[in-house]
Structure 1
Amino acid sequence: MDKMMKWVDAIRTITAPFGDPIGEIENEEIEHVIVAESSERGIFNSEVALEFHELSQVRVFAEMLRSSEEIEGIEIEVAPDFDLTVQYKGGEYECYQLWLGQPNRPSVITKLERTDVIWKLPEQTTNRLIDVLGLNT
């Protein structure tokens, strides 16, 4: 058994520079994301349009949250494009509203409970969201 563990450790050491997809799956906090079309700011639509469970798709939404930057002095008068339910491991979830920008342009999100706080998403995040939502055709 000790020989096997040493062998496993040696393989991990050799392959560490190439990433650890199994570890990434275990370490990603988001379990799945539900997307609905939005109709009004502050009002959440619970009708599921899309649902994402795969790591490559969930990772886009995790990146969305990690790359967001709070901005001040902006007022949004139009309805959001999408309502997002982000479910974490352990069953906790958060609801967001997303105003999806055009390709290569920023987007913005708000947390449903805090619509007075707006976060800007970088252009590359907008592009990845467009791809995962299937809107790039």
Structure 2
Amino acid sequence: MDKWIRLAGEIRKMTISYKIDTEELEREEMERVMVAESSERGTFNPEVALEFHELSQVRVFAEMLRSSEEIEGIEIEVAPDFDLTVQYKGGEYERYQLWLGQPNRPSVITKLERTDVIWKLPEHTTNRLIDILGVNYSPLICFAN
């Protein structure tokens, strides 16, 4: 047993220079995400359609928030696609509205309490959200005259 403890200590020393912290991988603050279809900007739909609580699923939404970048000078005229409730460990929660982009295109979110501030999500985040939400986009068929 002592041999294994020393081995684990040596492995930890070797990986410290790479800043790999295996405990950090399990310490996601976000605990659960609830998703509802949205109907109107600034109005929140409480009817949950999807719920995510597994770590691998929750990480997609955590990455969504971490990868967002505030943008200015944009007005959104259409209703959001989804209302998101993000619950953190300790019971705190935040509510967002998501306008999901097409594959390989940016998306945008707003915090429900601050609809005047808009955050852009990068294309790779849109792709991950499309996958986890199970959204199917059919290729558009265009006919030219």
TM over 0.5: yes
Unmatched tracts of structure 1, length 5 or more: none
CA distance in 2 between partners of 1:39 and 1:124 (Å): 25
Q: What is the CA distance between 1:22 and its match in structure 2?
A: 4.5
| Distance across 1 between alignment mates of 2:99 and 2:2 | 54
Report the count of equivalent residues: 136
Give the C-alpha shift of residue 68 in structure 1.
0.5
Render the CA deviation track for 1:4-60: whole Å, top value 9, x for unaligned. 54332223345665955553112x111110000000000000111101111111111
Q: Structure 2: which 5+ residue stretches go unaligned?
A: 138-145
Give 3-state SS (helix, strand or coil) of 1:44's partner.
coil
Counterpart residue number, 1:107: 107
TM-score computed with the length of structure 2 as normaliser: 0.84
> Which deviations, in whole Å up to 9, do the C-alpha atoms of 1:58-82 show, x marking residues without a partner?
1110110011011111110110000
Identity %: 79
Match of 1:38 in 2: 38
Equivalent-residue separation in structure 1 for 2:46 and 2:127 (angstroms): 25
State the alpha-carbon separation in 1 of the partners of residues 11 and 56 from structure 2. 24
Partner residue of 2:26?
25
Q: Matched residues in 1 for 2:136 and 2:22: separation? A: 27
Between structure 1 and structure 2, the one with the greater Rg is 2
**What's the CA shift string for 1:66-104, capped at 9, x where partnerless?**
110111111101100000001111111100000000000
Separation of aligned partners in 2, 1:57 and 1:14: 30
Aligned ranges 1:78-89 → 2 under 5 Å: 78-89=78-89
* TM-score (norm: length of structure 1): 0.89
**What is the aligned partner in structure 1 of residue 59 from structure 2?**
59
What does residue 128 of structure 1 align with?
Answer: 128
* CA RMSD of superposed structures (Å): 2.1
CA distance in 1, matches of 2:133, 2:13: 36
The alpha-carbon deviation at position 2 of structure 1 amounts to: 6.6
2: CA distance between counterparts of 1:92 and 1:47?
A: 19
Counterparts of 1:69 and 1:102 in 2: how far apart (Å)? 18
